[in-house]
Amino acid sequence: MKKGLFLLLILCVAVTAVSAGADIASSLKNCSPYSESGTVNTEGMNVTTAKQIMGKQGDRCVYKETVNFQGMNVTTICKFTQPQINEITSVMNAYSLVQQYSGDSIDTSSLDKVKDNPVVKVWNKYLQDSSTCTMSGLR
């Protein structure tokens, strides 16, 4: 059960990354302070999220996201290296550019619809790496 919730949470965090704008990619690239919050509906759940780029801690950029869904409040803290940031922001910017010219809207209504999204994939890669990201509040 806990593993299923963990995977669902990872996908929920990644889904909110897909809906994030270019502002967060730019702030992440420079590790400059940033915050945003919002709600994404996926799998019939309203997933509320608050994202923050906290700034540098040593040679890493600290990113914090609090996700609330179905009464669960989970905080993820990631400490990204510059190469990791470069990869994440490159994918986010490329995807944003494709979206801009294709006119396609992002469908976050189900996890199946976003699981193959390149932004989701790059975020999942690091969300599942305990040396980069940690989660607290998961029951």
pLDDT in tens, 4-18: 445 555 555 655 565
Total structural domains in the chain? 1
Domain extent for 9: 2-136
Q: Within the chain, which residues score under 70 in pLDDT?
A: 1-22, 103-114, 138-139
Give the DSSP H/E element, type plus range, for residue 42: strand 34-42
Burial class of residue 21 in the structure, from the number of CB atoms within 10 Å of its CB (0-12 exposed, 13-18 middle, 19+ buried) = exposed
pTM of the model: 0.81
